[in-house]
Structure 1
Amino acid sequence: MNYILFDEPTIRTALLPFTFTRPVADIRMGIWTITEKWENWLKNPVSHLTESYLQPKFPHVAGTDNLYINGAVCPTDALVAAIRTLTDGQALLTTDQTLIAVRTSYNLDKAPNATGFFPVPTPETPVILRQLPDIFALNGDQIRADFARITAGRTSAPMTDPHTAVYGAENLFIEEGATIRASVLNAEGGPIYIGKNATISEGTTMIGPFALCDNSTVNWGGKMRSNTTIGPFCKVGGEVGNSVFFGYSNKAHDGFLGNSVIGEWCNLGANVNNSNLKNDYTNVKLHSYATDQLEDTGRLFCGLMMGDFTKSGISTLFNTGTVVGVNVNVFGAGFQPKHIPSFSWGGAAEGFSDYRLDKAMYVARETVGRRGLPFGLAEEALLTAVYEATRGPQTNQ
């Protein structure tokens, strides 16, 4: 059996800028990415059917018996059982005809649809990531679900620091190698997960549901509010609430970040702040890559969506419902625009220019290299493809 997570085209577009640089299923929501969730539930590796320029890094592995699963869907026991009972030529569909999975002997070269398959109804209404704000809105429940899977039958490492206060200790799980000093951890309202070799520094207040993934750090005096995930190898400080960091990104200093999603390899300078609620209490509008205009999210709270490899200077202010693309360098006074395209350089006061690909690539290579990780031809090709899709071919520089 080959398990392949596919990008449903409409959902992939709705989840830009994050899906410029990854398949839908590699978005982190909860403790794990969706890919990691499926691999845990299936007890098998999965591959991806995604955009052609992403396939070198996220290959598609198919054979004569394939289960193609919608990469925006979060697994449950009932859903996995239903998918495994599919026979060749069957498709699992929700009541609104959203395709969840198909089983086929064919090696598909694009995302499947239900046409030509025998429909089978889902046993329950699945959790599906459909829009950008879903990433943070669904995060608390996904922390709970992932926490239950990760900790089942396991014993937490002990809390050894006598100066740390823990409330709801039964909902706290600490992996080996984690360090916690003189903090307040309140897991009464939801679980707190502390990953391997993570660090919680002195004076931190943390409210569950909360996930601090492997090798990440909360700096001194951090105010970590509920429904938040800090992905692996991040450094965070200041106040963070109902937000998701995918991994390898920093917000090391004071400043507020709320109802926001930060991709990988990002850096927010000291005293960066975002608005997550409008003064007139109307719904937040967010830039749509599908319509190229602001669209109503239907939500009162929505903050910053920041694509991979983007950096912001000190004291940068992001307005309610701001979308920043991939590999942007933004700085300067005043609230920044509600949408900053990928590979832009500048700020609201100074204006924006194209971020030259060679310079952007150099900074990306240095950023990754500082963590001791390779940045090779596959990574260069991926970012070049994003540049050409968003700014035009290199020959037009």
Structure 2
Amino acid sequence: MIIFDDKKQNLFFPLTLNRSVGDLRCGILKLRQRLEELLDAEDTTFWIDPDLQDLYKTRHPDWKINEPANQGTLMVNSRLKPSSESISAIKDLKPNQGLVQGDDLIAFYAPKTISELPTALELKAAGIELIPSQLTLYQNLSELINDNERLIRLDFEQFFYDQDNYFETEPGVTVLNPYYIWIGENVSLNPGCVLDASEGPIIIDEGTTVLPNAVICGPAYIGKKSLIKVGAKIYEGTSIGPVCKVGGEVEESIIQAYSNKQHDGFLGHSYIGEWVNIGAGSSNSDLKNTYKNVKFYSYASGEKIDSGTMFLGSMVGDYVKLGINTSVNTGCVIGFGCNLWSSDLIADFIPDFSWGRASQLTKYRFEAFCETAKLVKKRRGLDLSPEEIALFKKIWELNNG
């Protein structure tokens, strides 16, 4: 099987400026991980943006990346919204068939050895029967945020419910509905914390520490080696990636790996990238005073689009730093590598590598950005690789001519 990004990764910018669509987390797993498991893949190759190839080959030397697809290889779009219907439809495909939605390819069998993604017309000319489908492909980050709660439930039932569970009732820990709680190895639950799975499952992955008086309400996922701070309030629909530090109030949000929101403040209906730091007292809005649908900036269209929902917070690219007491408006998109502070309301769209107050933005010098990124990664025992620097330089140049 090949899981492919279909050249529409800009629908998910800024999060996919430096990662494959398949590496977006939604629910407990990343999109590609879930497809591999649900489709029973024995051997998976990944087709990604060529600009990401060097970085991915360095990070994942054992992966097969952008290798040709042999005749008869099952090709599956990384944007596929997983459901029993979508998985069954793909499993029912015959070797001379494919599923399409308009011009979008959902899944198909390669008609011959191919090295790049064909168009629907090219597949049809090669003898592939194209079956129109009502299956859903994700179109933006807002859709992932709003599907997160459903996928936490699905992932728990599919992949965690029957796995070895290190759950033990600790003195002073309050547990509601323990049968819907999965605890990984070496998890520390401190006195006074509350795990409330009465409305959905809670998964706390291995090596995580939950400090006193923190409350976690399911459905929720806490990634490996994360730290949930004293008095934190983690509400339903929240997925926190590995090695994160989270405090304050978080609701219906997705946080990728290595990001920190350690202090008081509200984060709601948001998608946060990696290596993000949100300063003390910072909060975002996820509901307009008018209760109308939230619009947000789309990199793909270059204008604001309707999210179709009343609830949408912020979408924050990797390596963003927000100073203390920053306020982020409803539907705000903050680009890759920004460093922002002051009491000015951060709203609408902040371009990649912006620096300063929301009302007085300048461009972040690339050398200064790299210096900070190196220091941040060094604290986790990691280095900023030459491949990362080359990719980040390309992103910076797109914004600076």
Per the normalisation by structure 1, the TM-score is: 0.91
Corresponding residue number in structure 2 for 1:313:
323
- Maintained 8 Å contact 1:6/1:71: yes
Question: What value does the CA root-mean-square deviation take over the aligned residues?
Answer: 2.0
Corresponding residue number in structure 2 for 1:263:
273
Do structure 1's residue 62 and structure 2's residue 59 form an aligned pair? no
Corresponding residue number in structure 2 for 1:109:
116
Distance 1:45 1:381, change over 3 A: farther
Displacement after TM superposition at 1:112 (Å): 4.6
Displacement after TM superposition at 1:9 (Å): 3.0
Distance 1:132 1:158, change over 3 A: closer
Question: What is the rounded CA distance, in whole Å, between the counterparts of 1:235 and 1:32 in structure 2?
Answer: 19
Map 1:212-291 → 2, pairs under 5 A: 212-291=222-301
Question: What is the rounded CA distance, in whole Å, between the counterparts of 2:390 and 2:114 in structure 1?
Answer: 25
| Letter aligned with residue 6 of structure 2 | E
Corresponding residue number in structure 2 for 1:395:
none
Corresponding residue number in structure 1 for 2:22:
25
Question: What is the rounded CA distance, in whole Å, between the counterparts of 1:74 and 1:180 in structure 2?
Answer: 34
Aligned residues: percent identity? 33
Structure 1: 5+ residue stretches without partners: 393-397
Do structure 1's residue 160 and structure 2's residue 158 form an aligned pair? no
Map 1:279-358 → 2, pairs under 5 A: 279-349=289-359, 351-358=360-367
- Maintained 8 Å contact 1:343/1:391: no
Do structure 1's residue 52 and structure 2's residue 62 form an aligned pair? no
Do structure 1's residue 91 and structure 2's residue 89 form an aligned pair? no
- Maintained 8 Å contact 2:338/2:353: yes
- Maintained 8 Å contact 1:37/1:74: no
SS state at 2:344 partner: coil
Distance 1:208 1:84, change over 3 A: same
Map 1:67-146 → 2, pairs under 5 A: 67-76=74-83, 79-80=86-87, 82-84=89-91, 86-94=93-101, 98-104=104-110, 105-110=112-117, 112-113=119-120, 115-117=122-124, 118-119=128-129, 121=131, 126-146=135-155
Question: What is the rounded CA distance, in whole Å, between the counterparts of 1:206 and 1:194 in structure 2?
Answer: 10
Displacement after TM superposition at 1:380 (Å): 1.2
SS state at 1:197 partner: coil
Map 1:349-388 → 2, pairs under 5 A: 349=359, 351-388=360-397
Distance 1:215 1:243, change over 3 A: same
Corresponding residue number in structure 1 for 2:32:
35
| Letter aligned with residue 382 of structure 2 | L
Corresponding residue number in structure 2 for 1:8:
6
> How many residues get paired?
386
Structure 2: 5+ residue stretches without partners: 57-64
